Amino acid sequence: MVNKKRALGRGLSALLENANTDITTRLSNESDKTLGSISEVAVSQIEANPFQPRSLFEEEALIELSESIKTYGIIQPVTLRKMGNDKFQLISGERRFRASQIAGLERIPAYVRVADDQTMLEMALVENIQRENLDAIEIAISFKRLIEECDLTQENLSEKVSKKRSTVTNYLRLLKLPAEIQLGIRKNLISMGHARALVAIEDENEQLKLFEKIVNEQLSVRQVEALVKGITPQKPKPATKNYLTSDLEHRRNFIADRLSNKVELKRSRTGTGKLIINFKNDEDLNRVLSLLENQ
C-alpha cells in the first residue's frame, strides 16, 4: 500500500456527517454508514461512470497527478453512487480515480450518494457552507460540487449561498492552484488574499517559488501583490484607432490655432467620437468660452 498523507481536514469531513441530516436518515439504511458522508472506499469496488462524456485522458497529465497524489493524498474526494453489493459507480472525479489507480492506492476518500438524493445534497451543502467554519479550499470544493453535481451555474450558486458571483469565482479559482499551495491554504500557512494573488501567475513553478517565499519570509498580501506584478507580464492596452480624415485633421488644427490651445478630436469608424479642448486654468477656460460664445 502506498503511504499517503491524509488530505482531508475536520471541516470538510463534517460536511453531510451531521446525525440529523435527511440524507442519512431518509435515503439510507442505518446500517450503511457510508451514505451522505466522506468515506474511504476501496478502489477495487469502484467502477467508471458509463455516461462519462470525456473519453480521452492525457496520460502524462494523469501520471503527474498520480505523483502529486502519492505525496499529498487526494485533496478533493471523488463522488460515488452506491450500486449495491459493495459496488460503487463514479459520478465525478474520474481523473482523480484513474490517477489513484496509477499511484497504487488501495482506498480513496469519496462522497457516497444514492441515485435520487440530489435535492437533499444541495440543501445540505448550502446549509453547511453557511454555518460551518470551513477553510477556503473546503468552501471552494463545496462550490464545485454544487455546480457539477446539482447542475447549477455560478449565478445560481451565488444566489443560493448569498454571495456575489465574483466571490464564488474567486473561490473556484483556488482549485487551479497546485496541491501544495492548496494544502498551505488549509493549514493557514497563507491567507485567501495571498492565494488570490498567486492565481494570477500562469507558471506553476513561479507560483510554488512565491508560495515558499511567502511562508519563509511571512510576506503580507500587499507585498505579494507587488511581487506578482513583477512576475506577470502586463498586457499592453490595444491602441484605439482614430478614424480622422485629412479634412477633419485640418479643421482640428485650425481650431487649435484659433483658440491657442491644444485640441483633441477622436472619431470611431461609425462616426461617433469626442472633441476635447484643453485649458491651463480658470482664466484660460473663461477666455476659451468667450471666444466660442462670440462665434
CATH of the domain at 164: 3.90.1530.30
Cα–Cα nearest to 131, from 15, 41, 13, 246: 15
**Residues 33, 125 within the same domain:** yes
Burial class (CB in 10 A: 0-12, 13-18, 19+), 293: exposed
**Residues 158, 75 within the same domain:** yes
User: Which 3 state secondary structure label does DSSP give 233?
Assistant: coil
Its pTM stands at: 0.51
pLDDT of residue 295: 67
Q: Report how many domains make up the chain.
A: 3
The C-alpha angle with vertex 241 and arms to 236 and 246, in degrees rounded to 5, equals 145
**Residues 42, 145 within the same domain:** yes
The whole-angstrom separation of Cα 107 and Cα 101 is: 9
Contacts of 191 (CB under 8 A, 6+ apart): 185, 221
**Residues 160, 16 within the same domain:** yes
pLDDT of residue 9: 40
pLDDT of residue 270: 82
Domain span at 217: 189-231
pLDDT of residue 81: 82
The whole-angstrom separation of Cα 253 and Cα 259 is: 10
pLDDT in 10s for each residue of the chain, 295 residues: 444 444 444 344 444 343 333 333 333 443 354 555 788 999 999 988 665 545 556 788 889 999 999 998 898 898 888 877 788 888 778 889 999 999 999 999 998 876 555 665 676 677 667 655 678 888 898 888 888 878 888 888 888 888 899 999 999 999 999 999 999 999 999 999 999 999 999 899 999 999 999 999 999 999 999 999 887 655 566 666 778 888 888 888 888 888 888 888 888 888 888 889 888 888 888 888 888 877 6
pLDDT of residue 246: 83
**Residues 110, 149 within the same domain:** yes
Residue 253 forms part of a structural domain: yes
**Residues 151, 270 within the same domain:** no
The whole-angstrom separation of Cα 172 and Cα 11 is: 18
**Residues 139, 100 within the same domain:** yes
Task: Determine which one of 17, 30, 59, 94 is catalytic.
Answer: 94
**Residues 58, 143 within the same domain:** yes
pLDDT of residue 128: 65
User: Which 3 state secondary structure label does DSSP give 130?
Assistant: helix
pLDDT of residue 183: 92
**Residues 51, 157 within the same domain:** yes
pLDDT of residue 24: 35
Contacts of 20 (CB under 8 A, 6+ apart): none
The C-alpha cell that represents 262 in the structure block: 491644444
Q: Give the Cβ contact number of residue 127 at 10 Å.
A: 15
Q: Give the Cβ contact number of residue 77 at 10 Å.
A: 25
Residue 21 forms part of a structural domain: yes
Residue 106 forms part of a structural domain: yes
Task: Verify whether residue 94 is a known catalytic residue.
Answer: yes
Cα–Cα nearest to 97, from 52, 140, 134, 142: 52
Q: Is 86 left (phi over 0), alpha (psi -120 to 50) or beta?
A: left
